[in-house]
Amino acid sequence: MGHPQPETADERRERYDTDEVYSLRERVAAAAWRQRLSARRSLNHSYRIGVGVVGGLIVALGLVTIPLPGPGWFTVIAGLFVLATEFTWAERLLEFTRRHVSRWTDWVSAQPMWVRLVLGALTAVFVYGILVLTLHMTGVPDWVPGWVPLWR
């Protein structure tokens, strides 16, 4: 029992031109360089494993850094973006995330200014608390001046 023949790049491009759904994964698969990799099974398998490992590491790094000041969620989404170039499940998760972030943004934008200010203040307090907790657990560096309000 053989595997069905994969769609050629020209067939994918033609499908794209007819306004059918054309996902990130499909766009990457339609690229000429990706077609050359797909033609060699061992190279294709190694590439997919590499994308999975790199994307997974980026997501893991992002998940660890979410409570810390910085781009935690952005890093998670970037990792999902990498994974979505090869894996349908990641593409679905990325779309789910996009929808919910959009809903949250729309909701916050529709709130009165005082609600947005309270949300901003709560976020700042949370980030500061995580920073202080992290510095308490790891130790405050010697270069931090004594007047900085950190729990020593």
The first and second tokens of residue 5, run together, are 């023949």
- The answer to whether residue 2 sits within a structural domain is no
Cα–Cα nearest to 114, from 122, 103, 106, 126: 122
pLDDT tens profile 119-148: 999 988 888 888 778 777 887 777 777 776
Same domain for 46 and 62? yes
In angstroms, the Cα distances linking 66 to 11, 125, 137 are 41, 15, 17
Q: Are residues 63 and 30 in the same domain?
A: yes
Q: Are residues 106 and 116 in the same domain?
A: no
57-103 pLDDT per residue, tens:
999 999 988 877 778 889 999 999 999 999 999 999 999 988 998 89
Q: For residue range 5-19, list pLDDT tens digits in order.
A: 655 656 655 655 555
Query: Domain containing 23: what range?
Result: 9-110
88 and 118 co-located in one domain: no
Alpha helices for the chain (secondary structure H) = 9-17, 24-30, 32-39, 41-65, 72-84, 88-110, 113-138
What is the predicted pLDDT for the residue at 118?
Answer: 94
List pLDDT tens digits, range 52-63: 999 999 999 999
How many domains does one find in the chain?
2
